[in-house]
Amino acid sequence: MGEVTFLGTGDPLNGERMQTCLALRLALGDVALLDTGSGTSTLAALSRSRLSLESIRHLFITHRHFDHAGGLAPLLVALTALPEASLTIPGVEDWLGGRLRWNKLSPGEAITVGDAEMTPFEVVHGIECVGFRVSQGGHTLVYAADTRPSPNVVRYAKGADLLIHEAYGTGEDAEQAHNFGHSTAADAGKAALDAGAKRLVLTHLRASRFADPTALEVEATSVFGGPVEVADDLGVFDF
């Protein structure tokens, strides 16, 4: 069984939550991060979680928006100070000398990190952006990243144990959500339904005055018909 910790669950301007970052537990206590949050939000979240900075060995970034990639520089600086730290980042230049390795990622091609197989897939967000299908111990997690409704999410989330999907707002916000390259809670529910996912978790939330987490959960549940939860910072989910 796999375990994922939400180190950040907010959109770029949500002051109530930290920005998007997921931590995936690998064999031997190693951790892979999916996205880096922004600024020092991920460092702050790590210090409040059960995960250590030293345990981060792999880093995957879905796209260049600052709420996903903006935590990279502080993270590398923090790791540089730890003599035992090393890191593999697909597609990022060498900042830690021989201790940092980087690998090229190609959409649709799986790579292996520890006991997990990670397959990036293209989504539709207005700039180059990928989601990830993670297979670990016979279980599957799919992180759809930032995307408007995309057939690729349904395709790669087929039969997933856990689908992690963004939710910009409810159906009332559909036009704006889609224009900005995002999805509504109903879109997330439809993706989970069409993919036959077992469970849906919503993340990347706007501030609560713009998007009420309970309303998002209700809307996604009404479309999906399966279990739906809204992630909170430091929330831990098995898959």
Enumerate binding residues for Zn ion (CB under 5 A). Answer: 65, 67, 146
What single-letter amino acid sits at 81? A
Residues 6 or more apart in contact with residue 32 via CB below 8 angstroms: 23, 24, 26, 56, 57, 58, 59, 60, 113, 114, 116, 118
Task: Give min distance, CB of 36 to Zn ion, in A.
Answer: 12
As given in the structure block, the two tokens for residue 67 are 């709420």
Task: Give min distance, CB of 81 to Zn ion, in A.
Answer: 28
If the CB atoms of residues 126 and 171 are measured against Zn ion, the closer one turns out to be 126
Task: Give min distance, CB of 127 to Zn ion, in A.
Answer: 7
If the CB atoms of residues 57 and 204 are measured against Zn ion, the closer one turns out to be 204
If the CB atoms of residues 10 and 189 are measured against Zn ion, the closer one turns out to be 10
Instruction: List C-alpha distances in Å: 208 to 14, 167, 183, 200.
Output: 8, 12, 17, 20
Task: Give min distance, CB of 10 to Zn ion, in A.
Answer: 9
Taking a C-beta distance cutoff of 8 angstroms, is the pair 151, 16 a contact? no
Task: Give min distance, CB of 204 to Zn ion, in A.
Answer: 6
DSSP bridge pairs for 21: 8
If the CB atoms of residues 135 and 168 are measured against Zn ion, the closer one turns out to be 168
Q: 192: burial class by Cβ within 10 Å (0-12, 13-18, 19+)?
A: buried
If the CB atoms of residues 25 and 65 are measured against Zn ion, the closer one turns out to be 65
